[in-house]
Structure 1
Amino acid sequence: MRSGLVKLLTVALVLAGTAVPGTASAAGRVVSEPVYDFASAIRETVWVDTGRDGDADGRDDRVAADLVRPREAADRGIKVPVIMDASPYYSCCGRGGEKEVKTYDGAGRPVGFPLYYDNFFVPRGYAVVLVDLAGTNRSRGCVDVGGVSDVGSAKSVVDWLNGRATGYSSATGGTAVSAAWSTGNVGMIGKSYDGTIANGVAATGVAGLKTIVPIAAISSWYDYYRTDGAVGNSGSPAGLAQTVSARNQGQNCSAANQRLRQDFPANGDYSPAWLERDHVAAAKNVRASVFAVNGVNDLNVKTINFGQWWSALASTGVDRKLWLSQTGHVDPFDFRRAEWVAALHQWFDHYLLGLDNGVGNSPRVSVERQPDVWVDQTAWPAAGTRDVVLRPVAGPTAGVGTMTSGPAVTGSASITDTGRVGEATWAAQPTATSTSRVLYSTGVLAQDLHVSGTGTVTVTVTPSTPTARVSAVLVDYGRQTIRNYGGAGEGVKFGSAEDCWGASTTGDDACYRIAATDTANVGLHIFSRGWADLANHRSLSREEQLVPGRPYTMTFRLASTDKVVPKGHQLALIIGGTDAGFVSAPAQPPRLTVDLSKTFVTLPLDGTTPVAGVPGSLPAHPAQVVATEPARLDHG
């Protein structure tokens, strides 16, 4: 009864024009309350001038910003902050687990807003703005897949919300529309491509952007399509542009699409086009706080993207928070729903409404250690983590040995790259000789081993042909239950039951299917990977033809992770040629001779350095290996 009286008092004060942003929750925190009527909220579209003419029609492109905001606040002159999701997917592919798209009435006014942000936050005194990137849905212009057009689409709307850009009542012509109702405080959120745009806009340093919440987001487009010189199997920027702009009629983007085909080298070289889309390189400009979320088993947007972004932000001094789940490419709304909405609510209330709600006292990093078992850390990489070098030592079985933290040991091993096999095959029989990989293990661990951060592998190999790929994976051998990140739901599975998060109207439902945890009992877990093209051993910006028979040394990155390999398990490093599920094969797959004395892995370890033992208890045939086929970004 008391909380109800507090809410009614808040409503009365707000309607009287007095700014009362929040009340005390049952947990003792100050929170914004749902005091505004969602059904009567203002729903409109404003087309914002981007100052660019991407489709070369002689007019500046305007991007469509569909928005919903509380009518009572507008009627009484109360300004509200904005939660914004800028996306290319609002007509082509949909958002969220239910693939929602925008819907409109017969007059073109927005009715259905994908996801729950509007249902939950508008009654609590926020506006929600969903932006169609240039060249998608109802926006003019052309998609450039993470470039100045994409990022500029969203930045222009932030500028309009702060009085620095012009909005209009229609896509062409029309009258100017002001955002005088906005406080100018903007928080951007989004998963995958959407979260990537949030990273990109933050990296411009635009004033008014107070916080971003990137979920499974790219920090460098190079590290989506390429990896240390190797060409990935994730398609091409031109192909993605065609997917997201397929329903955008009446515009000529042939020149823009041709640039997308020309600007990106077919090989793995890091070009100026990739630099334009490298938000890590521009991280020094970020002024917004960052609440990042990623699945450590995300095989779509590889985890190097969150790792390098988080690390680059450390030098900026901005407030940061990180959630790491065991899922693949999954939104936290679908793996930790109630906790996620509460955390997001607290985050936006603080950074957009300015509430003193103790958000700084919450754990900086939360990690899902086992399915639905979360632990908190003060930092990522975990406090106490240090880089440890482990070196391979040949054993009595060819291509199988141990790892040691001691000095280098002489020896060599051979790999034949067919271009047709990959990590699942390499890991399946760890005690047997394989022509396609070599494997080195710590032996049975006497203590838990915490790998937290971004590791690297340094290899010295001699190829037999002028072209060569090198791959490396880290494997936790031992019986364990993990999220089934290789399954259809990438660690979750949806039932038919729903729960509701906010208010609903006809055409804009706040209820969503509940996702349960999907697990797999496995005998091994491949938890980090890295790939490289040996031709880029000297420079990622320019490959060179290899000389058969000559040794080359190259250091490349492993995927960022946070993984505890338990006592009694074994940690193994596998080195192979082409990992066929993830990177393309070289023109002439080689035989590789690995110089063990000049090959090692550098791992970020928290805890005791493992002492190499004999890997005799490695399971020869694990009962189950989670599938590892990478998804495509345009699956959202």
Structure 2
Amino acid sequence: MIRKTINTLLCAALLAAGAANASDFGGPLPPPVNQVERTSFYIPMSDGTRLAADVYRPKEPGRYPVILHAAAARTRMGDGADKSGAGKFSVQMINLAAHGYVFVVVERRGLGASYGIRRGYHDRTEAHDSYDLTAWAASQPWSNGVVGVYGCSNTGDAAMHFLTTKVHPSLKAVFAGCFNWDKYSGGRRGGVLANWGTGPQSSVEADMKSTPVDGDESRAVLREAVQAHANNTPLLELWSGMPNRDDVSPLTGTPFWEEGSISTYGDAVRKSKVPVYIQGGWRDDFNTQGFITLANLTQPSKLIIGNWGHCMSLDFSMVAEALRWYDYWLKGIDNGIMKEPRIHYETVNAGWHSANQWPVAASHPASAFLGDGSLSLQAPAAGKRSFTVDYHPVCAAGTGLGPTCPQDDKGLTFTSAVLAKDLELTGHPIAKLWLSSSVDDGPVFAYLEDIAPDGAITMVSEGRLQARHRKLSKPSFKVPGNIPWHSFEKADVEPLAPGKAASFEFDLLPVSYVFRSGHQYRITITGADPREKLRKTYEPAPQWTVWFDRAHPSQIVLPVVGKPE
């Protein structure tokens, strides 16, 4: 009874400390309130599979909320690591253990030092592990029975999948970044296998370099665990083998895009009522998916997006923002986070803004029509231009939007007049192009760029569409604004008639960006991109034609805030 009273008083003191140090939006990570110790061991799942875990918990005796990170690898925080919570924040979430939480990093089945086989990429077996993990976390002697989940990138998908199956009643909040509501659009955005990653994939030899659990200095247990990983589903083979959304993978025996998609289980996600905070970056290939997720949630939810790359936050402390979220939902600290607008977004060149809806109310569509190398508010009477696909696009690291960089010399460019005043775009740019090709298929890429007075190019956004998937359809879930939708299903595949103009409508990644007075904006159109995987080529290289006459008014629809000039 005395120990229970001491623990209760200690938890109350930590709650008070958390309330006193709760940061406002955009603030720094508060000073730590406790020292942390780490232990490592295996957690058994209900089917007997054991998952390797690192547990970071306060040294002070007590019962604390638990945050689970269902990771692909246990990356440990070193003593010399950045503890600001900014930059590459995903590994720094461990810092939450110094703020009155137990932080558990567990490798999913078939990965790292964990036992088991990964059948696919976020399959139903893995999703069901989430219930076992939550039940385990809630029942530990250092747990107060309240559990949250964190993840970013593939672990962001894993965090959201905690809500797609039976949800343990102890699960109270999710903080997830850079994940995919719709896995097909994540893996094959626009129908093109052109992302920079296809998920965590390693060999048995690579997994033998994983961190063993405590007491396994000889790595004998690690070796036993990873032997089964040789039977993991090869992810590039899985993704490339399903060019259509409804394809059945011969590797899993299921239409795996649907099995692995959070969207497939949208009703379960909403029924869970578990609050969700979504994190994204303008320079991340998955940022549209965050806005789509927000549009489909009915539980308390928020979204933050800045001028960052994948699971990055530059000088913004994402750990501090996550701490505010968990303090509110797991500790009951009224820090004001739920009184703030639903969306925080950074407008590039203009700072932070907030909104309760997306697209924002001040944004409206305005068409810039493609002409003979120009973009203007008036459609030209006649014209067309052609280019030959260059199958050797290149991109130097650090020169563009995520892994994409200017491709102006690889296709056609269309440039606006010099801007007389600043132009803000906030929302989803839409390409509405009339194109023909000398072949019956192929990808088309459109890049939105900022051209400075000295000719310097800044990548702002980009979009893509595989020609055979250009038929428009109705989505099976909500999408924000006026995003064109394509089913990507076999029944809607439509090859091009070579030489005949066809309509291509597709969205570019969403933006919030100010083009400065004296600058120009540009659209570049190509037939290849540096990120393509397993690119199909034609010999000779195809010729594409962009049409811009009255019957074929090619245009880019821009989400303009204010009156366009």
Which interval holds the TM-score relative to the shorter structure? 0.7 to 0.9
Q: What secondary structure does 1:549 align onto?
A: coil
Q: What does 1:289-328 correspond to in 2, within 5 Å?
A: 289-298=275-284, 302=285, 305-328=286-309
Q: Please point out which of 460, 483, 489 is paired with 1:541.
A: 489
Q: Structure 1 residue 38 and structure 2 residue 16: aligned? A: no
Q: Please point out which of 336, 340, 346 is paired with 1:358.
A: 336
Does the 8 Å contact 1:392/1:403 carry over to 2?
yes
Q: Which amino acid aligns with 1:322?
A: L
Q: How many residues align?
A: 493
Does the 8 Å contact 2:134/2:171 carry over to 1?
yes
Q: Structure 1 residue 252 and structure 2 residue 236: aligned? A: no
Q: Deviations over 1:124-156 (max 9, x none)?
A: 432211111111233211233332344344443
Q: Which amino acid aligns with 1:229?
A: G
Q: What residue in structure 1 maps to residue 544 of structure 2?
A: 592
Cα offset for 1:442?
3.0
Q: What residue in structure 2 maps to residue 288 of structure 1?
A: 274
Cα offset for 1:558?
1.0
Give the Cα separation in 2 of the matches to 1:126 and 1:220.
31
Give the Cα separation in 2 of the matches to 1:365 and 1:544.
38
Q: What residue in structure 2 maps to residue 232 of structure 1?
A: 194
Cα offset for 1:353?
0.6
Give the Cα separation in 2 of the matches to 1:240 and 1:599.
44
Q: Please point out which of 601, 604, 608 is paired with 2:559.
A: 604
- Change in Cα spacing, 1:580 to 1:343, as seen in structure 2 (3 Å) is closer
Give the Cα separation in 2 of the matches to 1:598 and 1:293.
37
Q: Please point out which of 121, 133, 141 is paired with 1:157.
A: 133
Q: Which amino acid aligns with 1:594?
A: V
Give the Cα separation in 2 of the matches to 1:97 and 1:307.
36
Q: Structure 1 residue 382 and structure 2 residue 382: aligned? A: no
Q: What residue in structure 2 maps to residue 62 of structure 1?
A: 50
Does the 8 Å contact 2:128/2:166 carry over to 1?
no
Q: What residue in structure 2 maps to residue 525 of structure 1?
A: 458
Does the 8 Å contact 1:229/1:268 carry over to 2?
yes
- Change in Cα spacing, 1:342 to 1:262, as seen in structure 2 (3 Å) is closer
Q: Deviations over 1:201-240 (max 9, x none)?
A: 2344724332222233344443343221212153545846
Q: Please point out which of 154, 157, 160 is paired with 1:196.
A: 157
- Change in Cα spacing, 1:311 to 1:238, as seen in structure 2 (3 Å) is closer
Does the 8 Å contact 1:82/1:185 carry over to 2?
yes
- Change in Cα spacing, 1:477 to 1:595, as seen in structure 2 (3 Å) is same
**Runs of at least 5 residues in structure 1 that lack an aligned partner in the other structure:** 1-11, 52-59, 101-113, 163-177, 395-399, 481-521, 611-636
Q: What residue in structure 2 maps to residue 449 of structure 1?
A: 423
Q: Structure 1 residue 477 and structure 2 residue 451: aligned? A: yes
Q: What residue in structure 2 maps to residue 508 of structure 1?
A: none
Q: What secondary structure does 2:262 align onto?
A: coil
Give the Cα separation in 2 of the matches to 1:254 and 1:27.
46
Does the 8 Å contact 1:64/1:131 carry over to 2?
yes
Cα offset for 1:420?
1.8
Q: Which amino acid aligns with 2:434?
A: T
Q: Which amino acid aligns with 1:191?
A: C
Give the Cα separation in 2 of the matches to 1:556 and 1:274.
20
Q: What residue in structure 2 maps to residue 268 of structure 1?
A: 243
Give the Cα separation in 2 of the matches to 1:369 and 1:34.
29
Give the Cα separation in 2 of the matches to 1:386 and 1:392.
19
- Change in Cα spacing, 1:239 to 1:190, as seen in structure 2 (3 Å) is closer
Cα offset for 1:357?
1.8
Cα offset for 1:351?
1.0
Give the Cα separation in 2 of the matches to 1:478 and 1:34.
42
- Change in Cα spacing, 1:420 to 1:242, as seen in structure 2 (3 Å) is farther
Cα offset for 1:46?
4.8
Q: What secondary structure does 1:25 align onto?
A: helix
Q: What residue in structure 2 maps to residue 279 of structure 1?
A: 262
Cα offset for 1:273?
1.2
Q: Please point out which of 134, 147, 150 is paired with 1:186.
A: 147
Q: Please point out which of 365, 369, 375 is paired with 1:402.
A: 375
Q: What residue in structure 1 maps to residue 113 of structure 2?
A: 138
Give the Cα separation in 2 of the matches to 1:479 and 1:293.
34
- Change in Cα spacing, 1:47 to 1:606, as seen in structure 2 (3 Å) is same
* RMSD after superposition: 3.9
Q: What secondary structure does 1:202 align onto?
A: coil
Cα offset for 1:452?
1.8
Does the 8 Å contact 2:413/2:525 carry over to 1?
yes
Cα offset for 1:525?
0.9
- Change in Cα spacing, 1:280 to 1:141, as seen in structure 2 (3 Å) is same
Cα offset for 1:350?
0.4
Does the 8 Å contact 2:389/2:544 carry over to 1?
yes
Cα offset for 1:27?
7.9
Q: Structure 1 residue 335 and structure 2 residue 315: aligned? A: yes
Q: Structure 1 residue 347 and structure 2 residue 325: aligned? A: yes
Percent identity for Structure 1 against Structure 2: 22
Q: What does 1:578-589 correspond to in 2, within 5 Å?
A: 578-582=528-532, 585-588=535-538, 589=541
Q: What residue in structure 2 maps to residue 462 of structure 1?
A: 436
Q: What secondary structure does 1:410 align onto?
A: coil
Q: What residue in structure 2 maps to residue 500 of structure 1?
A: none
Q: Structure 1 residue 559 and structure 2 residue 509: aligned? A: yes
Cα offset for 1:461?
1.6
Does the 8 Å contact 1:132/1:139 carry over to 2?
yes
Q: What residue in structure 1 maps to residue 216 of structure 2?
A: none
Q: What secondary structure does 1:309 align onto?
A: helix
Does the 8 Å contact 1:229/1:267 carry over to 2?
no
Give the Cα separation in 1 of the matches to 2:23 and 2:78.
32
Q: Which amino acid aligns with 1:257?
A: T
Cα offset for 1:275?
1.8
Q: Structure 1 residue 90 and structure 2 residue 64: aligned? A: no
Q: Which amino acid aligns with 1:565?
A: F
Q: What residue in structure 2 maps to residue 490 of structure 1?
A: none
Q: What residue in structure 2 maps to residue 501 of structure 1?
A: none
Q: Which amino acid aligns with 1:47?
A: I
Range that drifts further, 134-143 or 145-154: 145-154
Q: Deviations over 1:172-218 (max 9, x none)?
A: xxxxxx43653433222233222232133234472433222223334
Q: Structure 1 residue 22 and structure 2 residue 16: aligned? A: yes
Q: What secondary structure does 2:162 align onto?
A: helix
Q: What residue in structure 2 maps to residue 209 of structure 1?
A: 171
Q: Please point out which of 414, 417, 430 is paired with 2:389.
A: 417
Give the Cα separation in 1 of the matches to 2:164 and 2:424.
32
Q: Which amino acid aligns with 1:536?
A: H
Per the normalisation by structure 2, the TM-score is 0.75
Does the 8 Å contact 1:477/1:571 carry over to 2?
yes
